[in-house]
Structures are given as structure tokens and as C-alpha cells.
Amino acid sequence: MANTPGPVQDIEFTLNGDPISRTTSSRQLLVHFLRDDLGLRGPKIGCDTGHCGACTVNYNGKVIKSCMTLAVQADGAEIDTVESLAGESGDLDDLQESFRENHALQCGYCTSGVLMSSKFLLERNPNPTAAEIREGIHGNLCRCTGYVNIVKAISAAAHGDKGLALIERLNREHAEEAGI
Amino acid sequence: MTAPTTDTVATTTWTGQSLPRKEDERLLKAQGSFVDDEGMHRQGYAQFVRSPYAHARIVSIDVSKAEALPGVITTLTGDEVKAMTEPLFQFAPKEDGAQMNEYLLAVDVARFQGDAVALVMAETREIARDAADLIEVDYDPLPVNTDGVKAADPDSYVLHDSLGDNIAWKGIFDWGDIDWALENADHVVKIDKLHFHRYSSTPIECNAVLVNWDPGTDMIRVVSNNQFPMFGALVIGPSMGVGIDQFDFVSQDIGGGFGIKINSYIAIGALALLSRKAGRPVKWTETRTEHHQAGGHGNERTFLDIEVPVMADGTMLGFKMRAFDDAGAYLHYEPLGAVIWSQVVPGPYKFKHVHVDYTETLTNKCPAVPNRGYSRMQHIWFVERVVDLVAQELGLDPVEVRRMNYVQPEDYPYTTPNGCVYDSGNLPGALDRVLEMIDYDAVKKLKEERAGSGKRIGIGIGTTLDSGTNNFGQSRILNPELPFSGNGEACTALLDLYGEVMLKLGTSPQGQGHETTASQVAADILGMSPENIRVWAGFDKSHSAYIGFSGTYASQFAVTGINAVIGAVNKLKAEIIEVAAHAFGVEQDQVELANGEARIIGNPEAAIPFIGIANMVLANNATLPHEMAERISLVCRHVYVPPFEVPDTEKKYGNLTLTYSTQTHAAVIEVDEETGKIEILDYAVVDDCGTRINPMVVEGQVHGATIHGIGAALRESFDYDEDGQLLTSNFLFYHAASATDVPNIKTDHIESPSPFTGTGAKGMGEGGGAPVHTLSSAIQDAIGPGRAIVDDSYNPPERVWRMLNWDGPAEERGVSVVSKNGGS
């Protein structure tokens, strides 16, 4: 950062509950700032255009794509990344645990972003239908899971069911949605 | 050819359970390690300068302005690369020895949009990008060819002067007697042209490399997400004039690969040269646009002049056709695709007579590289299109035509016309089940009810094969002189100082759960919980077990990787038992392993925990006989080698793959007549990959492969304009499927254990591209007989609309039937 030509700016913000005070290059993207300057691994980079969602973070209570945001825009904000999910003990939270149980990740590259969007969805809508879940994560591309087990994991975290009952409920919901 | 056999043994208990994965906790907590999560002291950042032209002579490159920019470390051009390296190894030079001269950066000519012509390295990513813009390249545009069929014309403009033409490889594949079959068939169905389009599974993590050519040791440490590092080393080592021993390839977590990430070896080589020049480590993270333009595309194939002999009862005898594969501008892993399709010559059917006139050509497009379903998917799509068109044109039921032509359960092991041995399966059973899952009779009624409503129903079926554990001897069909055959994988199993069990694999997984499944089979052998077995995450050439085939590609871990684990762990078990038997003073057959202990059978009180065994061998060895202490190391390496022979390269005959998983798909779609838009109302898959080591992981692979295929069939295409400009170079234009774009997938399975793999398991990760076949089939069903045919694998709404509204003369439909009784 320090070697990048062009203007710089001092910023202060809250990251995962901790105060941060840094100088950033005015042209630096938030995702690069979080990764390169602050050493976070959660926000990932998968595209140039804001479509893949691997960089999704929570910004003042809303999910945003940190590759579409400049680091200077973090000034004064409260930002949470996937690193905020597991508790002090390091234990997985319920959503993360549901992802593990339901094999909702394979390579794990999109997972940080998917978790942030899912958490945001469940905060607003604790009881989503399969279609609402799909809508809630449609800004996050996953190329490994085909979304089947991601939908399952989010739905299970919300409804508390598992196994065959969970699969049959989701098959039913999808069939009703398709009108067949 | 006799069916192969094997002497490895099946395991029990942990194997077969849907255990949650060992990998997940670190990935869920963002504690995984992908390339861009890694760093090295004094690392710089690299940016490639890429050709904006699809074809142009490079008149000059001026790096002076870039090098004058503060923060720039160094630059590298094609001319410098040419001066310090040799052209890259080519699989199949022409008979007169002519071959293309490809270097790690383009030299003199850029041959596709995105071809790398120079590199710059700077202190930050941003400076590197600024500097790349300051490198002045003077291009002189050349004629552009983006058509893989026209490229074969003798008068087409030649991409590589040293080759003399644009033919990468060419060959006739002929088995059975197609002339007899065409002569004696009751009907010959003729199809003018079928085309399988270009796309990629586009992993979300693009290619990335962090490389340090250490000036002190001359070692080249490559942290990358390449999924087949040993292949990369074999190709770039000789070009760079370095020994394989100088390379240390490292990868931990890889953000998806799907075959595409085999291709990054070219970038690795160029970046290593940049690091050597700078005397510092360098990191490169590919942008999405670069990935789409230059990271590698799946194979595009055109099938022409197709003739299919069919008997009156619907028995299909085979086919004759010409195929053109468009390799793009350079041969990366290609022309292997020119023979790899022949693993599945008749698809899932008992076709006996096949004639293929095959040509692979070079065009001004991104190089084609393996992508999930590599080369076989294109071919089976062709076979499934043929089956559906035969059924439609002859007024037969596509379900019955499939059922009667399938290889039957009692036929296994089944030898195909070219000597491949299909190991096991139950295709009719899978078809019955998948039709039940979509409630076939009910949806047929629904189709009738909806007719005339403006929303048509189409029902599609796709059967496919996922051939796994390939015999690299098939490369000799391209070039009999190639020193490649067989296959294999390695594993090391060891006890550490305090008795800890560790496995090191030769694979470089991208989400396939190898740490988990390896620990499951090892746990069964050692009589302990998988939780207590550590599997080294990822690959590190400096200490992982490996052979020339090591990597994660081509649907084989369940066979090669798992059997390597079983072999290594069995050796470790034997050593543990020998040491324990010595300590107990009993015969070895009196000792068993359970709960992390060696104990005397029938006397669980007499037990030595693994820590005790490790102590005796590794830190207390004066207590052992000297001969035993020197012989036993508790570090056991095993290489699993599948039972292959070198194929007959003249006849192009031999067993090219060890296992054949099958997938049978069924789709119910609704087509909007006004817009051509397709909605998938129901989608079901029946998978048969033999014995499943971890069913949850298997189902996850099925889901992923299915959505790749659905995306490819309806949404995803690498389209070029006539100037060779890629029109879909990012996710705005390349419509990778999101959660709202694709349906729920219903899955079920049949288990037909492979008789050839010991465990009964088969490789299954690629999935065979069945949704592409299935959706072409469903769209054809919706359009109905006597109208346009689905002749392309890519069917976005605009194309579907055109087919629905096509009203041309019958002779322009692109399909016809000549019947023996005079009918046509």
C-alpha cells in the first residue's frame, strides 16, 4: 500500500468488533485492504465485476461486495467478515455447523461469502422457503455444490430438521414452486 | 483383451459412511490456505501484458517507460524467454518431425486475444498494473480464423509456420465393419452436423502462483493451485533447462479446478523466469477477465456427415462421422483429447461398427484444455443426440431405444469395439429409477395437457459414462514413440515419534474431500477412528509421496488414490504388528490392531499403544534386534498401479480406462413459446459409481457436475466474434449459474461394484456431462418431430425460439432417413 502511487487517506472503522485505524491508498479496493493490509483470509477475490460474491462482507448491517468498494469507504463503518462467525472459543456457529453437516462446501473458496449472505438472510427472515434461500444467495456463485447442499444447510439451520425429512421437505417445496 | 484383476482388499466399518469432512472446519472459519493467502519475504507482484488482437505479429516491445516507473522491479519479454529456454515439449509432432514452437511467453506472433507477450513485476499489485499499461507493444494484425472446421482447409491462414498447416493431429478410427452395417441396415439415419460448444466450469478462484527461484540454492518453490503439478513439471522443466529435482511444487487449498487448472504450468514457468531475473519471489493472481480469455476453455467439437445404421426393431449398429476438435491457438495437454474420447466409443450402448475420421485443428482462440467430462462428454453428447434423433425420425420411443441398445447388466465385463472393458453397471435399472423419480407417466400426461397453452413441456433423458483411471498408454495412439503408459498414485503412511498416524497423499484436491476419505479407509485397516488420523493437507513435492501421474484430475482418486492409501497403510500395519509380536514374544498372526493399540488376539489386556511401537523403532531402538531396527522405519510408501497394458496403436485397440461410472439423468422442462425461455420443472439423477466410500461426498460431486452441465446447456458459452474477440470475458457476460438460475436436483443411486478395483469403488468426479445431453433431449422433445433439430449443445432462449419458429423445407432440417424398403 505504502508504495502505491497517488493520494492516501487515514481511515478509522470497526472490524469484527475491533477498532482499526490505518492509512490507505485512495485507489485501493476494500477487499485488497482487508486481505493485503489487515491479513484477513475470509473475503476472497473471484471476479472483476462484482458477480461472484466471494468477497461479500457485512457493512453497516447490509451485505456488500468488498471488491466493489474502496477501502476509504470503510471510514466510520462497522464491518463484519466471516471471521466474526465462530465464537471466542473458535467453535463453529450454528450456520457453519449446518454447512459442515450438510456438506454445503467443497473447495471452500466461495464459502466465506455464502456464509455472510446466508447469515444476513436468516437475520431478516428466520424462516425462509427454499425459493427465498435461493434468492438470498443469488449474488454468490458456487461452482462446486450446485447449491443443492447450500440450500439444504441454510434451510436446516432455520428449521432444525435433518436427513431424509429435510430432503423430502425441500423436494416438496421445490416441486410446489415449479407447479408440478 | 482379458479383464484386469487386482489383489487389493475391500475394507469395512468407516468406509461407506457419510462422515463430515476433515477439511470443513478450516474452510468455514477462513483458515484455509489458498495461494493468495500465502506470502514470501520480499515478494513482488506480477502482471501479464496480453495481446488485444486475436492474431498479430509482434513488431516491437518497449519496456523502458514501465521500467522507469517507481516501484517496478523488472520486466520480461518473449524475446528474452526465447533466448533462455527451449520450445515446450509437444506430444505429437508430425511424421516429418514438424511441430509448433511454443515458448512460455509469445515470441514474434500473438495467436489469440489474451496471449501473454510480456510480464512486469512491481512492489504492489497496483504498480504492476500501471506498469503493464506503460509497456508499448507494436502489433501488426494478421488474418483471424475462429472456425475449427475451416482451419483444416489447405488454404486457411497458418498459425504456426513451423507446422505448415493448422492440423494439430489427424487420424482414422475404424472398428467393426461400418460399410457392411450401412449396407445391411433397414434404415440409415443421416445427420448433417452437430456442434458441441466451448465453455468452462470456471472455478471461482482463478489461477494463482507464488514462485521463488532461490538464488542461493537454485531451488524453485512454486506455491500454486495447479491441479496436476507433476505434468506441469514434465513439460516446463526441459524447456527451462532445469531438473525436476529443482522444483518444489506446493498447494494446500485449491478453489475449484475442474481440469482447467491443469493449464497453469505455462504461467508458472514464465513467472519462475521472472523471479530468477528479479532475484526475488513473485506473486501472480489472475483476474477473471484473464481467466476467461487465456486460462483455458473446454473442447469445442463439430461432427459432420453422420450416418447411423439402424435395424427395423430399433437396434442401432453404430455410426460413421467426421469430427473436428478446435484446440485453439496452442496445444496445452492437447492433442490428448483426440484419443481420450475413445474411452467411450459406443457410449453406454452396444454399437459394434464405428468409423470416425478425426481432425484436431488450431484456431485463433484460447487453448482448449481439460474441463470436467474432458473429451468423452463431447462424444457421448453426440451419441445421445444420435439416439434421440434416430428415435424421433423412425417414430420409436426414445426410452425403449435406449433400453434395448444399452449394455445389459449381464454383459459385464463388456468389451467395446476398441477393446475398452466396461467393468459393471445396471443401465436399465437406472433408467427405470430415474423415470420413476420424475413420475414419467404423469409428466407425459402433463405434456399433452399443456399442448397449445404457449408453455410446452419437454421430457429429456441423458445417459452418460464417467470413465476413470485412464491408461496413459492411449497417448501412444497419438504418437507411438511417447514414453507414457499405465497410471498410478502414491501415498506415504507413517507413525510419528509419539505414535501419531499420518498420511501424505500424492494428490492435489480441489474440494473432493481426500483428507476425509483417505482417513476413512485407513481407519478401517488400523482399527482406529478417522479423527485420530492426520492427513497432510494438500501437496508438497519436497515430502509428499508422488509419481509422474500424481495430481487430482480425471475421475480417479477413489481408485488410484484410495488404493495407494490402502497399500501404504497395510505396509504400516504389517510393521506395527511385527514390532508388537517381537515385544510380546508371539507369532505375528497372534497380533491385532484396535483402538490405536497392538494387542494379542483374545487377550486385550496385553496391549502396546502405538506410542510404544513408535518409541521402540524411532527413539529406543537398542531394545530391538539390530536387523529389525534397520529394516523397519514406520514410514511406508506405496504406489498403486492399475493393471494396464500398452494399447495396440495400429488398430487403436486396448483397455483405456479401468472403471466406468454411469449417470442417468431425466429432466422435465417448460418452454415459453413466446420467448424461448426454459424453466426446469423437475430434475433427477441416478448415479452408479460402484461402492461409495463416502456417499455424502459422492452426492456432492453429482450435484456439482449436474449444475455445471445445466449451466453449459442453457447459459454458458465462450463466444468469439469474427475478429477473435471473446464476447463473454467476465461473469457479466458469461452467465455462470447462480442459485436462482438452476433447479433442485433429486438424486438416487445404484451400486454396481467394480470387479477391478479391490474396494469396488469407481472414479466419478467428472460426471460425464449428462445434463448437456439431457437438456438437448428435452428441448428436442418439446419441439417435436418433423421440425427443427437440436444440433448444438448450447441452447439459450434465442436459439430455442428460432428452433420453435423454424419453418424451412424438410430437406433443410439437417436430418434424413434412407430406408431399405424404398422409403426415405
Tell the CATH topology of B24-32+488-640: Aldehyde Oxidoreductase; domain 4 (3.30.365)
Of B45, B36, B34, residue with least CA distance to B281: B45
Q: Give the chain A residue whose CA is nearest to the CA of B26.
A: A108
B67 pLDDT more than 60? yes
B18 pLDDT more than 80? yes
- How many other β-carbons are positioned within 10 Å of the β-carbon of residue B631? 11
Name the region of B641 (left: φ>0; alpha: ψ -120 to 50; beta: rest).
beta
**B163 against A3, higher pLDDT:** B163
Whether chain B has a CB inside 8 Å of the CB on A20: the answer is no
Residues in chain A: 180
pLDDT given at position B8: 45
Whether residue A173 sits in one domain with residue A99: yes
Whether chain A has a CB inside 8 Å of the CB on B206: the answer is yes
Q: Do A3 and B123 touch (CB under 8 A)?
A: yes
Q: What is the residue range of A44's domain? A: 8-84
Whether residue A106 sits in one domain with residue A77: no
User: Kindly report the CA angle at B117 between B114 and B118, in degrees rounded to 5?
Assistant: 120
Place of cell 426410452: B399
How far is B446 from chain A, CA to nearest CA, in Å? 9
Q: Where are the domains of chain B?
A: 24-32+488-640, 35-142+207-294, 170-200+296-473+647-818
Q: Are residues B779 and B671 in contact, defined by beta-carbon separation less than 8 angstroms?
A: yes
Q: Are residues B778 and B800 in contact, defined by beta-carbon separation less than 8 angstroms?
A: no
The beta-carbon neighbor of A109 closest among B256, B680, B742 is B256
Whether residue A143 sits in one domain with residue A105: yes
The 3-state secondary structure of B389-444 reads HHHHHCCCCHHHHHHHHECCHHHCCEECCCCCEECCCCHHHHHHHHHHHCCHHHHH
A96: exposed, middle or buried (Cβ count in 10 Å: 0-12, 13-18, 19+): buried
How would residue B4 be classed by pLDDT, with cut points 50, 70 and 90?
Answer: very low
* Chain A environment of B126 (Cβ under 8 Å): 4-5, 25, 27-28
CA B319 to mean position of chain CA atoms: 26
User: Kindly report the CA angle at B484 between B247 and B242, in degrees rounded to 5?
Assistant: 25
* Chain A environment of B32 (Cβ under 8 Å): 41, 108
pLDDT given at position A179: 85
| B713: its cell numbers | 446447456
How far is A120 from chain B, CA to nearest CA, in Å? 16
CA distances from B261 to B231, B255, B333, B489 (A): 12, 10, 11, 19
Q: For residue B742, what is the DSSP state?
A: S
CATH assignment of the domain containing A65: 3.10.20.30
Whether chain A has a CB inside 8 Å of the CB on B254: the answer is yes
H or E element at residue B614:
helix B610-618
- What is d(CA B491, CA B364) in angstroms, rounded to the nearest whole number? 41
Identify whether A139 is part of a domain. yes
CA distances from A132 to A62, B40, B215, B718 (A): 17, 43, 56, 31
Identify whether A89 is part of a domain. no
- Taking only the tens place, the pLDDT of each residue in B31-64 is 999 999 999 999 999 999 999 999 999 999 999 9
| B337: its cell numbers | 483429447
Place of cell 427395423: B312
Whether chain B has a CB inside 8 Å of the CB on A38: the answer is no
In A130-159, the residues whose Cβ lies within 8 Å of chain B are: 130, 133-135, 137-151
Whether residue A147 sits in one domain with residue A98: yes
Whether chain A has a CB inside 8 Å of the CB on B704: the answer is yes
Backbone angles phi, psi at B476, to 5 degrees: -70, -15
How would residue B822 be classed by pLDDT, with cut points 50, 70 and 90?
Answer: low
- Taking only the tens place, the pLDDT of each residue in A131-161 is 999 999 999 999 999 999 999 999 999 999 9
Mean pLDDT rounded to a whole number for chain B: 96
Q: For residue A17, what is the DSSP state?
A: T
- Taking only the tens place, the pLDDT of each residue in A61-118 is 999 999 999 999 999 999 999 999 997 889 999 999 999 999 999 999 999 999 999 9
- Taking only the tens place, the pLDDT of each residue in B214-242 is 999 999 999 999 999 999 999 999 999 99
The 3-state secondary structure of B289-315 reads HHHHHHCCECCEEEEEEEEEEECCCCC
* Chain B environment of A175 (Cβ under 8 Å): 682
User: Which of the listed residues A53, A84, A115 is the one where a domain comes to its end?
Assistant: A84
The one-letter amino acid at B646:
V
pTM of the model: 0.97
- Taking only the tens place, the pLDDT of each residue in B523-552 is 999 999 999 999 999 999 999 999 999 999
In three-state secondary structure terms, B103 is: coil
- What is d(CA B763, CA B641) in angstroms, rounded to the nearest whole number? 15
Place of cell 465385463: B413
- Taking only the tens place, the pLDDT of each residue in B159-197 is 999 999 999 999 999 999 999 999 999 999 999 999 999
How far is B287 from chain A, CA to nearest CA, in Å? 7
Q: DSSP letters along B541-567, please?
A: TTTS---TT-SS-SS-IIIIIHHHHHH
Place of cell 501479464: B48
In B382-401, the residues whose Cβ lies within 8 Å of chain A are: none
Q: For B9-37, what is the mean pLDDT? A: 91
Does this complex have an ipTM over 0.90? yes
The beta-carbon neighbor of B697 closest among A1, A45, A103 is A103
Whether residue A74 sits in one domain with residue A131: no
In sequence order, the 6+-apart residues with CB closer than 8 A to the CB of B691 are B10, B16, B751, B753, B754, B759, B760, B761
pLDDT given at position B5: 42
- What is d(CA B41, CA B283) in angstroms, rounded to the nearest whole number? 11
Pairing, β B597-600 against β B591-594: antiparallel
In three-state secondary structure terms, B370 is: coil
How far is A99 from chain B, CA to nearest CA, in Å? 8
How far is B222 from chain A, CA to nearest CA, in Å? 20
Pairing, β B489-495 against β B167-175: unpaired
How would residue B352 be classed by pLDDT, with cut points 50, 70 and 90?
Answer: very high
Of B5, B15, B3, B17, residue with least CA distance to B565: B15
- Taking only the tens place, the pLDDT of each residue in B110-166 is 999 999 999 999 999 999 999 999 999 999 999 999 999 999 999 999 999 999 999
- What is d(CA B314, CA B401) in angstroms, rounded to the nearest whole number? 6
How far is A8 from chain B, CA to nearest CA, in Å? 14
The one-letter amino acid at A97:
E
Q: Do A138 and B682 touch (CB under 8 A)?
A: no
User: Which of the listed residues A50, A84, A118 is the one where a domain comes to its end?
Assistant: A84
Place of cell 489383489: B7
The beta-carbon neighbor of B704 closest among A40, A82, A145 is A145
pLDDT given at position B504: 98
Identify whether A14 is part of a domain. yes
Q: Do B29 and A92 touch (CB under 8 A)?
A: yes
Whether chain A has a CB inside 8 Å of the CB on B288: the answer is yes
A16 pLDDT more than 60? yes
Q: For B317-344, what is the mean pLDDT? A: 98
Whether residue A61 sits in one domain with residue A117: no
B606 pLDDT more than 80? yes
Q: For B309-334, what is the mean pLDDT? A: 98
Q: Give the chain B residue whose CA is nearest to the CA of A170.
A: B744
- Taking only the tens place, the pLDDT of each residue in B402-429 is 999 999 999 999 999 999 999 999 999 9
H or E element at residue B64:
helix B64-68
What is the b/e burial string over B159-173, where b = at least 16 CB atoms within 10 angstroms of the residue's CB? Answer: bbeebebbbbbbbeb
Backbone angles phi, psi at B588, to 5 degrees: -65, -35
- How many other β-carbons are positioned within 10 Å of the β-carbon of residue B86? 12
Identify whether A167 is part of a domain. yes
Q: For residue B324, what are the β-bridge partners? A: B302, B359
Backbone angles phi, psi at A163, to 5 degrees: 65, -145
Identify whether A162 is part of a domain. yes
- What is d(CA B176, CA A35) in angstroms, rounded to the nearest whole number? 60
The beta-carbon neighbor of B738 closest among A5, A141, A178 is A141
In three-state secondary structure terms, B592 is: strand
User: Which of the listed residues A51, A84, A117 is the one where a domain comes to its end?
Assistant: A84
How far is A161 from chain B, CA to nearest CA, in Å? 17
Whether residue A17 sits in one domain with residue A58: yes
Contacts 24+ apart (CB under 8 A), A85-91: A85/A115, A85/A119, A85/B28, A85/B29, A86/B28, A86/B29, A90/B29
Place of cell 470497526: A14
- What is d(CA B496, CA B557) in angstroms, rounded to the nearest whole number? 25
A2 pLDDT more than 70? no
Tell the CATH topology of B35-142+207-294: Aldehyde Oxidoreductase; domain 3 (3.90.1170)
Backbone angles phi, psi at B444, to 5 degrees: -65, -40
How would residue B10 be classed by pLDDT, with cut points 50, 70 and 90?
Answer: very low
Whether chain A has a CB inside 8 Å of the CB on B256: the answer is yes
- What is d(CA B101, CA A161) in angstroms, rounded to the nearest whole number? 60
Q: Do domains B24-32+488-640 and B170-200+296-473+647-818 have the same CATH topology?
A: yes
Residues in chain B: 824
Q: For residue A22, what is the DSSP state?
A: E
CA B597 to mean position of chain CA atoms: 41
Place of cell 514452437: B101
Q: Are residues A55 and A69 in contact, defined by beta-carbon separation less than 8 angstroms?
A: no
pLDDT given at position A88: 81
Domain made up of B170-200+296-473+647-818: CATH architecture: 2-Layer Sandwich (3.30)
Adjacency order of strands within the sheet including B597-600: B591-594, B597-600, B603-609
Q: Are residues B254 and B36 in contact, defined by beta-carbon separation less than 8 angstroms?
A: no
Based on the structure, what is the number of domains in chain A?
A: 2
Pairing, β B746-749 against β B678-688: parallel
Q: For residue B528, what is the DSSP state?
A: S
Whether chain B has a CB inside 8 Å of the CB on A172: the answer is no
| B297: its cell numbers | 476453455
In A84-103, the residues whose Cβ lies within 8 Å of chain B are: 85-86, 90, 92, 96, 99-101, 103
Q: Are residues B78 and B103 in contact, defined by beta-carbon separation less than 8 angstroms?
A: yes
- Taking only the tens place, the pLDDT of each residue in B386-397 is 999 999 999 999
pLDDT given at position B3: 43
How would residue A48 be classed by pLDDT, with cut points 50, 70 and 90?
Answer: confident
Pairing, β B489-495 against β B455-470: unpaired
In three-state secondary structure terms, B585 is: coil
For B158-288, strand residue ranges (E) read 167-175, 187-196, 208-213, 220-224, 247-251, 282-285
pLDDT given at position B53: 98
For B739-803, strand residue ranges (E) read 746-749
* Chain A environment of B127 (Cβ under 8 Å): 3-5
Pairing, β B56-62 against β B109-110: antiparallel
Whether chain B has a CB inside 8 Å of the CB on A169: the answer is no
Q: For residue B87, what is the DSSP state?
A: P
Note if the bond before B348 is cis, omega within 30 degrees: no
Share of chain B above pLDDT 70, in %: 98
* Chain B environment of A101 (Cβ under 8 Å): 20
CA B682 to mean position of chain CA atoms: 27
The Cβ-side half-sphere exposure at B538, using a 13 Å CA radius, reads 21
Q: Which of B21, B29, B134 to mutate to test the interface with A (most CBs of A within 10 A)?
A: B29
In A45-84, the residues whose Cβ lies within 8 Å of chain B are: 45-49, 51-52, 54, 81-83
How far is A67 from chain B, CA to nearest CA, in Å? 12
In B513-572, the residues whose Cβ lies within 8 Å of chain A are: 513
Whether chain A has a CB inside 8 Å of the CB on B766: the answer is no
